[in-house]
Structure 1
Amino acid sequence: MNDTEVEVFVGIDVSKSTLDVCIDSSAEVIHVEYDDKGIRSVCERLTAAQPALIVMEATGGLEMRLACELAAQGLRVAVINPRQARDFAKATGR
Structure 2
Amino acid sequence: LAGLAPIANDSGARTGRRSIRAGRPAPRRALYMAALSACRYNSALARFADTLKAAGKPAKVILVAVMRKLLVLANCLLSHDRLWTPNPP
- The TM-score, its normalising length taken from structure 2, stands at 0.26
Q: Which has the higher helix share?
A: 2
Q: Which has the higher strand share?
A: 1
Higher Cα Rg: structure 1 or 2? 2
- The TM-score, its normalising length taken from structure 1, stands at 0.25
